[in-house]
Amino acid sequence: MPTTADWPHPDVYARFDALVLPHLDRMLAFARRRTDSTADAEDVLQETCVRAWQGFAELRDPALARPWLYRILRTVLVDGYEKLGRRRRLVSITRLEDAHEELVGGDADALFDEVVARLSGEAVHAALGQLPEDFAAAVELHDIDGFKYHEIADILGIPLGTVMSRISRGRRLLAGAMAARWSRDGELGTASRVAGTTAGRRPPRSRGGGAAR
């Protein structure tokens, strides 16, 4: 039976709260984009906090608290995928890249500039949900949550070069997903004009080499 002598010192609780609480909202948003409901995301966040508390002694440098927490969060999410047998719905990478290519004519970042402006919107949320998790996580951690490359490598447990590759390709996939959405919603003309005029880039072309549709 534990006694009060076995309880952590109050300063430990205070340090934990100070390091963890500022990140909870962003972590919940990250989890929400990877789960089926807000309730599931809240359960993931709760489990993350429990594991963080249990492993709090492992955090030697308070400055590294944020990537440390996200690493735990990712582990909880991966454990959940395996336990429940759930996998995010994947779309064809080729189809998304084709959508991006057709819209911007092969210029890698023309449409992504427009996507960046909508990163907090529901449309981008939905588009991220169409990407394979490996690419979606890298793009979100870098472009939405502001992590540096080496921090993302630590969070995802992958080499630095792989991080950069996934972000680059993930942006193209995200732009392709957004292009497909705009096309369905009748907004392709607006997106095409943005892509065709940004930084002097050429207008979209058809895959068959003819005039743009």
Copy the structure tokens of residue 86: 């759930």
pLDDT digits (tens, 9 = 90+) for 98-112: 655 555 554 545 556
Of 84, 118, 139, the last residue of a domain is 84
Rounded Cα distance between 182 and 166, Å, is: 24
Is the distance from CB of 134 to CB of 166 less than 8 angstroms?
yes
**In degrees rounded to 5, what are phi and psi of residue 79?**
-60, -40
DSSP track, 5-48: GGSPPHHHHHHHHHHHGGGHHHHHHHHHTTSSSHHHHHHHHHHH
**CA dist., res. 211 & res. 213, Å (int):** 6
| Confidence (pLDDT) at 5 | 45
Rounded (10°) angle between helices 93-104 and 160-184: 70
User: pLDDT at position 183, please?
Assistant: 66
Find out whether 44 and 75 touch, Cβ atoms under 8 Å: no
Query: Looking at 53, 84, 115, which one is the last position of a domain?
Result: 84
Looking up tokens 């308070």, which residue turns up?
A: 62
pLDDT digits (tens, 9 = 90+) for 119-146: 556 777 778 888 888 889 999 999 888 9
User: 78, 59, 70: which is closest to 147 by C-alpha?
Assistant: 70
Tokens at 38, concatenated: 């807000």
Residue with token string 């709760």? 46
Enclosing domain of residue 108: 93-200
The pLDDT > 90 percentage for the chain reads: 38
| Residues 103, 188: Cα–Cα separation, whole Å | 8
Q: What is the CATH number of the domain that holds 59?
A: 1.10.1740.10
Do 64 and 16 reside in the same domain of the chain? yes
- 70 in the same domain as 100: no
**Which of 66, 84, 102 finishes a domain?**
84
Same domain, 76 and 102: no
Eight-class DSSP state of 23: G
Q: Rounded distance, CA 19 to CA 64, Å?
A: 10
Overall number of domains in the chain: 2
Tens of pLDDT along the chain (213 residues) come to 444 445 567 788 999 999 999 999 999 999 998 888 899 999 999 999 999 999 999 898 999 999 999 999 999 998 876 555 444 444 445 555 565 555 555 454 555 666 556 555 677 777 888 888 888 999 999 988 899 999 999 999 999 999 999 999 888 888 888 777 666 665 544 444 444 443 344 333 333 333 333
